[in-house]
Amino acid sequence: MSAVNRAAVEAVLRQYTDPYLNQDPVSAGCVRNIEVQGDQVSVQMQLGYAAGLFKRGWAQMLQMAIEGIDGVGSAKVEIQCVIAPHKAQAQIPGLANVKNVVAVASGKGGVGKSTTAANLALALAREGARVGILDADIYGPSQGVMFGIAEGTRPKVKDQKWFVPIESLGVEVMSMAFLTDDNTPMVWRGPMVSGALLQLVTQTAWGDLDYLVIDMPPGTGDIQLTLAQKVPVAGAVIVTTPQDLALLDARKGVEMFRKVNIPVLGVVENMAVHICSNCGHAEHLFGEGGGEKLATQYGVELLASLPLSMDIREQADGGKPTVAAEPEGQVAMIYQELARHVGARIVLQEAAAPAMPTITVSDD
């Protein structure tokens, strides 16, 4: 029986790739400690993204691999998820109690952006993160309905200065709809809307959040630019359908975020395929492969491809989006994959950011 050492354990760990970081745990810097005592091995790892539903299976896989090393009697792999605040746009102050802001945006309305934002927030929460969602779609706020918050509900006010977000389904929710009458349209010009939204962002007493998901208004106008330039966004998710018109507008959304130096984490393709409930026939009603083409064009990841499903619509309208309504269902699993990819992409974006040059001043 050969002696076990740290190098042998690391060599085995390097053979396995984290499917979200696309690196082995050693190269990704996830391994915090390796202890070898005789034939017993203990490994402590840390993931920088929310992965509560993934880490147990990942730990078991690595444990079995380590126990396959000659000389190892037993192994124990412990994995923690520790989410750190990540860099946003330069010279924009962070939000109090919020580590990472994720913008969910689309170039046009009607592509399922708000549904994606709601399910992303719920999926991040299921993975063990502390999550909030801000409904910044001022002209068509819908998160209150999606989270089952009764019409007319108003947030409490703290110290005559802070709005206290309303908690629902394990997520902190804030929306302009909570401050207005649902039947009264917001007939405001751009500067008024921008000012109101910024006030909502900065004067909401969020809890200690790992992620704040912002459901952005559709389009690429003044409101979107103001939010992008004033709110510290760690990354953006672009939602589209495969339809050519939607893709055209989605490209504008990608370009907008690039102009304001916000990383685009990837693309979510909604309504990708329709499965007939009677015969099971699959049909691409809005075209095929559009989301993948958009992602390839801009060198980003296709984070998820979701079907055109009546259940997704009915569950959102009923105040319990898919992740909450059918957490073990096939579509909910797609949203869980989306949540893990979003968290991991934020980590990778920061790791890939170029280091700033050091400026040295001498008296010569």
- Of the two residues 158 and 354, the one the predictor is more confident about is 158
Indicate whether 310 pLDDT > 90: no
User: Distance between CA atoms of 262 and 89, rounded to whole angstroms?
Assistant: 6
Overall average pLDDT of the 249-255 stretch:
83
Q: What 8-state DSSP symbol labels residue 49?
A: S
DSSP 273-301: -EE-TTT--EE-TT-SSHHHHHHHHTT-E
Q: Does 148 appear as a known binding residue?
A: no
Question: pLDDT value at position 356?
Answer: 40
Last residue of a domain, one of 53, 81, 109: 81
State which H helix or E strand residue 131 sits in: strand 131-135
Q: Are residue 195 and residue 339 in the same domain, yes or no?
A: yes
Whether residue 265 contacts residue 233, with contact meaning beta carbons closer than 8 Å, is answered with no
Whether residues 318 and 276 fall in one domain:
yes
Is 291 labelled as part of a ligand binding site? no
Judged against a pLDDT cut of 50, whether residue 359 lies above it is answered with no
DSSP 192: H
Degrees, nearest 5: CA angle 114-115-117 = 60
Mean pLDDT of 262-280: 76
Band of pLDDT at residue 223, cut at 50, 70 and 90: confident
Question: For residues 58 and 47, what is the distance between their CA atoms, to the nearest angstrom?
Answer: 11
Please check whether residues 58 and 135 belong to one and the same domain: no
pLDDT at 276 over 70: no
At residue 183, the pLDDT reads: 60
- Residue 329 assigned as binding residue: no
Which domain range does residue 25 map to?
6-81
Pair 61, 142 in one domain? no
Q: Does residue 214 sit within a domain?
A: yes
Number of compact structural domains in the chain: 2
Q: What is the pLDDT of residue 361?
A: 39
Considering only residues 308 and 355, tell me which one the structure prediction assigns the higher pLDDT. 308
Of 81, 115, 140, the residue that ends a domain is 81
User: Band of the pLDDT at 246, cuts 50, 70, 90?
Assistant: low
Please tell me whether residues 310 and 265 are part of one structural domain.
Answer: yes
pLDDT score for 176: 82
Kindly state whether residue 156 falls inside one of the protein's structural domains: yes
Whether residues 213 and 155 fall in one domain: yes
Would you state the pLDDT for residue 186? 58
Query: Does the annotation list 108 as a binding residue?
Result: yes
Q: Is 87 labelled as part of a ligand binding site?
A: no
Q: 362 in a domain, yes or no?
A: no
Q: Do 221 and 290 lie in a common domain? A: yes
Q: Is 48 annotated as a binding residue?
A: no
User: pLDDT tens across 26-78, in order?
Assistant: 999 999 999 999 999 999 999 999 999 999 999 999 999 999 999 999 999 99
What is the SS3 assignment for 333-352?
A: HHHHHHHHHHHHHHHHHHHH
Pair 175, 288 in one domain:
yes
pLDDT of residue 280: 57
Instruction: Please tell me whether residues 121 and 244 are part of one structural domain.
Output: yes
Tens digit of each residue's pLDDT (9 = 90 or more) over 182-212: 565 555 666 677 777 888 888 999 999 999 9
Any binding-site annotation on 109?
A: yes
